[in-house]
Amino acid sequence: MGPLNGLKVVELAGLAPAPFATTVLADLGADVVRVDRAKPGFDVLTFPNDPLSRSRRWIGVDTKNPEGRDVVLRLVEDADVLIEGFRPGVTERLGIGPSDCLARNPRLVYGRITGWGQDGPLAQAAGHDINYIGLAGALEPIGREGERPVPPLNLLADFGGGGMLLAMGVLAALVERSVSGRGQVVDAAMVAGSALLTAGLHGLRNIGMWSRGRGRNMLDGGAPFYDTYETSDGKYVAVGAIEERFWGDLCKVLELDPESVAERLNPERWAAVREVLAARIRTKTRDEWTALAEGTDACLTPVLDTTEAAAHPHNVARETFVSLDGHTQPAPAPKFSRTVPETPKAPVEPRSSTTDVLTELGYAPAEIDRLRTNGVVA
């Protein structure tokens, strides 16, 4: 059983960041009940075998109906955590905001995630990952020299600085609760989380090691020893030979003349060194270079797509991916020596657990039928 076995979580259905936070908790053993609309809506993206829907039960409730609100509050009474990702003030208007829920359960950890935060000039503005990382200073450094910034998918704000940060905040609040006995609200803002992810960049700038423009620094593709290169088969390898001994191994693997790549730490020489590396790496396929680099510290690895990543021997040995109903997806992480999480459960049909969950809450069959007839529940 995972380390969060016995933890009860209520999730108010939403888009990527909040479901990801809940998936992290569910993967580690938490018992999650997702509360969705009683009827399908367009503000919650659902599809079969979605990793962001796995390992939880799923009920449908009309939270705008007073009786639907009461269903959520009854769930909260016995829960440890509530996760929501609406705009500020929405759950308050529905009667299931922090004060409503904590009045029912003072030990509840109420986790909420937004792009801009619960307050501030932009709190009520719409936005997406690209907007949040733009304001946080996390987007501007990403891209090639002389070109526009490139969005790194929606990994930085939605998932890294968003959902993962919320999960960490919830766990921190649970640790504190074990001492105080009291719950609290966790306000995770994706702008703040994205800014936090740039801590190392700020450190480099503070000491003058990140003073050149976009795409001209050591870790942004500016340095030839930290970049990707095309191979003869049109695929790519990643090179990260920063330290001198790793660079030495890379030169041996590539059979480079040391003179041709001399002064590789001098930015004025980066273009020339890159040209030598690119020409040499284009002479073999990605997998040929990968094989030659194995067993060395050349820091040369293949750039894999998601299908290839799941089949790579290292990921297979580490069980980095799992198959649910024949569909591959990332496995729970990190690993634990004693409380080993179970294999995630495939997503259930939307709203299919409504009757079972309501029965557990003490609703009689006739009452459930009445609520369903009146459209209060799915």
Q: What is the pTM of this model?
A: 0.94
106 with 184, same domain?
A: yes
250 with 115, same domain?
A: no
Q: What pLDDT is attached to residue 42?
A: 57
Q: What pLDDT is attached to residue 11?
A: 98
Q: Look at the chain and report how many structural domains it folds into.
A: 2
169 with 276, same domain?
A: no
157 with 100, same domain?
A: yes
27 with 47, same domain?
A: yes
DSSP secondary structure, 135-203, as one string: HHTSSTT-S-TTS-----TTIIIIIIIIIHHHHHHHHHHHHHHHHH---EEEEEEHHHHHHHHTHHHHH
Average pLDDT, the chain: 96
Which residues are within 8 A (CB) of 101 and not within 5 positions of it... i.e. 6 or more apart?
Answer: 73, 76, 82, 108, 110
Q: Model confidence over 298-353: pLDDT tens digits?
A: 999 999 999 999 999 999 999 999 999 889 999 999 999 999 999 999 999 989 99
Q: Residue 334, preceding bond cis, omega within 30 degrees? A: yes
Q: What pLDDT is attached to residue 5?
A: 97
Q: What pLDDT is attached to residue 258?
A: 87
Q: What pLDDT is attached to residue 2?
A: 96
Q: What pLDDT is attached to residue 45?
A: 63
Q: Model confidence over 94-136: pLDDT tens digits?
A: 999 999 999 999 999 999 999 999 999 999 999 999 999 999 9
Which residues are the active-site residues? 128, 158
Residue 202 domain-assigned (yes or no): no
Q: What pLDDT is attached to residue 40?
A: 75
281 with 252, same domain?
A: yes
Backbone angles phi, psi at 81, to 5 degrees: -140, 145
Whole-number Cα distances in Å, 352 to 79, 324, 358: 20, 19, 12
Whole-number Cα distances in Å, 222 to 51, 259, 274, 289: 35, 21, 9, 22
Q: What pLDDT is attached to residue 44?
A: 60
Residue 113 domain-assigned (yes or no): yes
Residue ranges for the chain with pLDDT beneath 70: 41-46
Calpha distance 225→240 (Å, rounded)? 6
Q: What pLDDT is attached to residue 243?
A: 96
Q: What pLDDT is attached to residue 56?
A: 96
Residue 255 domain-assigned (yes or no): yes
Q: What pLDDT is attached to residue 306?
A: 96
| Residues spanned by the domain of 270 | 226-311
